[in-house]
Structure 1
């Protein structure tokens, strides 16, 4: 996928792996089409499958010379209904029980239908008047009463209740751990296979992220954390969560159920703004091209939705069912690519001054972005061992100049995939920083990313009096 700087797409594409995309052949097609990060949804994945597909992704990436990243999206706490022998057709106004203690006593004269729930402490978390949403909000009930054995509700919006349906409780603080035993087991498998990102579901507060960070550190993993914003608690604690996480995912599926739907665009914009303010990457996820699960073309509304995510300057857009079970997974990636490029071209001439951060190092990076904005057809070149330089430059959102980031480690190379406008390259660093710069420029020329006469704003360390200092240089490609 060698391409000159003018054709580089700034917005990154995440695709979820599934039956439609897990073969070597399909992986190769989807990576060549522009997929940047493969997502493994652990709600449905077995450990043997995880090991197999991670190794397959690494093999295919190496074969075609394009290292992509792998995100493990762990399931998190979940409240579900139990099994039912046959679907229950709930009627409007019907009184219905959620049983938290199977076999709990009820008055024998009552002929009230019920279903078990997998979370016994639900009776302590919920209160009379709360809303219970079942099966992605398709069924709505109101809590009328409760005791230690069951929760009595009235059906407000009827529907067919099947086995193991997901329950959402808008506005209810559920006292389940954010990082479950299942999550621990899944994450350990991911760590052993070298995953690049862990997406934590139903993050409610900063300490959820801190707990996962401690687990990763204890298990010697450098995987970065993506906080999934999915309920009202996360929105209330958004600033604190953004400060301690590496990235944020606006998970619009559950978020659209947990919050009033008219608030969703406002929440999305607020999350993106918070991430830009704190220099964190942000992903817009769910229903980007949902209609393309079965259709070869997106709806006009979906096109506009994707375009808005690009206009808001999200780092990534994400595909879910479109690439797990959809008929047109490669086409979906191609359409995201096409929309992103067109919108990025449109906004390249209309940009705001980069955000001002308080850290001294970020002020140095800001000066590089300001220079890039003022010099036509310039490119930013940086060098990073841990990814900080690249993350800082990406957070400043240069509107036209691509960011070429060189790193000596393949793990950091993969993690650069999440950053807007960053194109990563693997390069062993020489002991002399000037030699490293020369090697990087030669690589960019060889790959067709720059040509003679192009201007490069070089952000790096230089040696001065036997110590390294931050520097911003303007160079012309010879």
Structure 2
């Protein structure tokens, strides 16, 4: 029997906290509706705000009996314009001047930039994108502290707008002083995941990991892919990071827009091949920031990410500042559940397995798929075996990871189809079966259904790890 009756979503949902969702009532409701991980966008928010929300998440997750992860997203080395007394109306053909190092100019249209070396890094003829690409300019001349540009598209220049320079390597450090302060805050608050913005190469991930380890944190490194250099170095970055985020906002500006779907598919496929969690982020339900219903294109976009079997889909402004945050979670859940039932792209068939534990995981997944098992139950100390099984994308089975460590349980919230369960390890196989039966019956799995049990380490009194096919009594 194919277990579609009580299907539970495998694709994880990440929601960004912000003014629309900062109350205790909203955070509780978001967890209740299905949020698996909360994102703290450190481009906004202050330390006291972060500490307060962390406390609420921890309180409500315990109350609801659900493990919820927390992700700190660093601002990164962003290039921004300075303050303006008033917005500037720009039209094609206008001259515009960027200044650095306190340079003054009498030009009609001018603004400072927070990155002093932009004049050195950029070349005449390069295109500058301002405010998420809404304003485009071409560099026509360079002086010591001045960039002179021609406006290519009409727009309104406001204060503190983000700047992108596609294809140009910017010589900024991977972590700013603000990032380092925010990471320290995240460590103190017990954040599970640390997202590194504007990753350019594997060494950037290694640097963040060294910082976390040196400060005693077990946090996982999430590399955000959002420019052409990161795409070029993708394979090495995937190897170095614990997880990958496809940050389609900046990535869609930095790369030709027609390339974005191809890049997204390549990243998802590569991550699944290497068994690294992958997050599809940005603009999933952008229209619902203001509107109560999504566009049909947004529904299709979500369904495509789910069909490709990304581990997570992530909402940004939709839950941080939108009018309908709870409705967004419900829509993601509905679309994901329906799409998962229809099958997936099958990228997991490309995974290469080498050691005995990996082959053990593959055997468990094949067995579960063959019998249509609604559950694979994994006894794991450190989560490794359950993530192996998640990486192989079982067709019908939810992965119940029975683990004695709360920290490990929270780290598993990012992985496809894994539901962490805190337990004291059973003494023997008989006790493990009793524990699993009791737990699964509460989850709606009925008598007569077949499940697969697998142990990461030998239980006390036993010499071998095992895979067991068991029928619920």
If the TM-score is normalised by the length of the shorter chain, which range does it land in?
A: over 0.9
Show the counterpart of 1:373.
Answer: 369
Which residue of 261, 273, 278 corresponds with 2:257? 261
Counterpart in the other structure of 1:12: 12
CA contact (8 A) 1:356 1:366 kept: no
Partner residue, 1:81: 81
2:282 is equivalent to residue 286 of structure 1: yes
Decide whether the 8 Å contact of 1:283 with 1:316 is kept in 2. yes
- The residue aligned with 1:56 is 56
Alignment-derived partner of residue 451 in structure 1: 446
2:32 is aligned with 1:32: yes
- CA offsets 1:82-133 (integer angstroms, 9 cap, x no match): 11111122231122211112236x7xxx745321110101122111111110
Distance 1:4 1:60, change over 3 A: farther
2:392 paired with 1:396: yes
Contact 1:197 1:223 in 2 (8 A): yes
1:220 lines up with 2:219 in the alignment: no
* 1:433 positional shift: 5.7
Are the aligned partners of 2:450 and 2:470 in contact in 1 as well (CA < 8 Å)? yes
| Equivalent-residue separation in structure 2 for 1:338 and 1:71 (angstroms) | 24
For residues 177 and 120 of structure 1, what CA distance do their matches in structure 2 show?
13
- What does residue 131 of structure 2 align with? 135
Do 2:307 and 2:345's aligned partners in 1 also have CA atoms closer than 8 Å? no
Name the TM-score, length of structure 2 as normaliser: 0.95
Whole-angstrom distance in 1 between the partners of 2:125 and 2:276: 38
The corresponding residue for 1:474 is: 469
Q: What is the CA RMSD across the aligned residues, in angstroms?
A: 2.1
Given the superposition, is the C-alpha separation of residues 70 and 192 from structure 1 closer, same or farther in structure 2, using an over 3 Å criterion? same
Work out whether 1:242 is the aligned partner of 2:226.
no
Conserved in 1, the CA contact under 8 Å of 2:308 and 2:347? no
**Is structure 2 residue 302 aligned with structure 1 residue 306?**
yes
Q: 1:332 aligns with which of 328, 334, 337?
A: 328
- Contact 2:19 2:321 (8 Å CA) reproduced: yes
2:157 corresponds to: 161
Per-residue CA deviations over 1:249-297 (Å, capped at 9, x if unaligned) read 1111011111100000001001101100100011111111111111111
Give the Cα separation in 2 of the matches to 1:128 and 1:433.
70
Could you tell me how far 1:364 is from its partner in structure 2? Answer: 1.6
Matches within 5 A, 1:346-357: 346-347=342-343, 353=349, 355-357=351-353
Paired residue for 2:270? 274
Distance across 1 between alignment mates of 2:20 and 2:339? 28
Aligned to 2:203: 207
Equivalent pair of 2:348/2:391 in contact (CA under 8 Å): no
Q: Deviations over 1:283-321 (max 9, x none)?
A: 111111111111111011111011111111111111111
CA distance in 2, matches of 1:101, 1:349: 51
Question: Does the 8 A contact of 1:348 with 1:400 survive in 2?
Answer: no
Q: Give SS of 2:115's match.
A: coil
- Report if aligned partners of 1:100, 1:149 keep a CA contact under 8 Å in 2: yes
Preserved CA contact (<8 Å) 2:348 2:393 = no
Q: Is the 1:96–1:113 Cα contact (8 Å) retained in structure 2?
A: yes
The answer as to whether partners of 1:462 and 1:468 remain within 8 angstroms in 2 is: no
Query: CA separation of 1:386/1:4 partners in 2, compared to 1, >3 Å: closer, same or farther?
Result: farther
TM-score, normalised to structure 1, is 0.94
Shift of 1:160: 1.2
CA drift of 1:451 comes to 2.9
May I ask how many residue pairs the two structures share in their alignment?
A: 471
Q: Deviations over 1:205-242 (max 9, x none)?
A: 10000000000001111111111110001100111001
Contact 1:354 1:366 (C-alpha < 8 Å) held by counterparts = no
Cα separation, partners in 2 of 1:395 and 1:453, compared to 1, 3 Å: same
* DSSP-derived class of the 1:102 partner: coil
Q: 1:342 to 1:34 in 2, by over 3 A?
A: same
**Match in the other structure for 1:68:** 68
SS of equivalent to 1:288: coil
Runs of at least 5 residues in structure 2 that lack an aligned partner in the other structure:
none
Provide the secondary structure at the position in 2 that maps to 1:70. Answer: strand
Structure 2 equivalent of residue 95 of structure 1 = 95
1-side partners of 2:234 and 2:344: how far apart?
29
Q: CA deviation at 1:461?
A: 3.9
Alignment of 1:422-441 (within 5 A): 422-432=418-428, 434-441=430-437
- Which residue in 2 is equivalent to 1:178? 174
Q: Distance in 2 between matches of 1:98 and 1:242?
A: 36
Give the Cα–Cα distance (whole angstroms) in 2 for the partners of residues 407 and 282 of structure 1. Answer: 23
Following the alignment from structure 1 to structure 2, what is the Cα–Cα distance between the partners of residues 68 and 352? 26
| Paired position in structure 2 for 1:297 | 293
Query: Is the alpha carbon distance of 1:310 and 1:24 closer, same or farther for their aligned partners in structure 2, counting shifts above 3 Å?
Result: same
Greater CA deviation, 424-433 or 292-301? 424-433
